């Protein structure tokens, strides 16, 4: 009986900590939805980079990545905003910018990853990937969504709006219950 009680006591704080983390990340994501300028986000990736993103060259397998570039002023402005937003949490977290790719509704692109390189969704080195169902839901509904599918991770996804009120991207406020400073940096 004592062992069972000890196990229950040990598990309660972990659940409470996860709820607290999710609540804190939800607040960061809520603020991100208001503070991240979708008009600027839409100008980060250059037309040239978008043109090359889906090109395949049998002689140059890295043609897409080698030709990926951004408009520096827009990129830095949003990156700094995302870093400031991540500092709202009382624990290490990142706020990343994800955007759908025009002409490819089934794909999504992480435009900005941040300081700790945390993301529940990004596979290392991927320039773009299949649309993540939870991100599709946020893009379609405009509602924040908490995701805890990957063990040890908590992400809150929030819509990013342009000045016309259109949802143009997703902010991912994310952290891990047990941070490993070296696991996310390749």
Say how far residue 131 (Cα) sits from the centre of its chain: 13
Say how far residue 45 (Cα) sits from the centre of its chain: 16
Torsion of CA 120, 133, 48, 73, to 10 degrees: -50
Per-state percent for the chain, helix, strand, coil, to nearest 5: 40, 25, 40
- Looking at residue 181, its pLDDT comes to 58
- Looking at residue 6, its pLDDT comes to 40
The parts of the chain modelled with pLDDT lower than 50 are 4-14
Return d(Cα 135, Cα 75) in angstroms, integer: 21
Q: Is the dihedral of CA 79, 147, 135, 26 positive or negative?
A: negative
Instruction: Convert the pLDDT of each residue in 7-52 to its tens digit.
Output: 433 444 445 555 699 999 999 999 999 999 999 999 999 998 888 8
Contact yes or no for 155/25 (Cβ under 8 A): yes
Q: Which domains does the chain have, with CATH numbers?
A: 2-176 (3.30.450)
């Amino acid at each position: 009986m004592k062992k069972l009680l000890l196990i229950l006591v040990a598990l309660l704080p972990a659940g409470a900590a996860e709820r607290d983390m999710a609540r804190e990340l939800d607040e960061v994501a809520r603020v991100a939805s208001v503070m991240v300028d979708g008009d600027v986000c839409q100008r980060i990736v250059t037309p040239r980079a978008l043109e090359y993103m889906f090109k395949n060259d049998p002689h140059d397998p890295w043609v897409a990545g080698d030709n990926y570039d951004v408009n520096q002023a827009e990129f830095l402005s949003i990156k700094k905003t995302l870093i400031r937003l991540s500092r709202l949490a009382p624990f290490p977290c990142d706020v990343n910018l994800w955007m759908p790719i025009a002409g490819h509704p089934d794909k999504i692109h992480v435009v900005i990853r941040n300081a700790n390189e945390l993301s529940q969704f990004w596979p290392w080195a991927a320039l773009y990937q299949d649309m993540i169902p939870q991100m599709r839901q946020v893009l379609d509904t405009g509602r924040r969504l908490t995701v805890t599918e990957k063990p040890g991770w908590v992400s809150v996804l929030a819509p990013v709006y342009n000045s016309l009120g259109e949802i143009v991207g997703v902010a991912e406020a994310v952290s891990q219950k047990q941070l490993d400073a070296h696991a996310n940096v390749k």
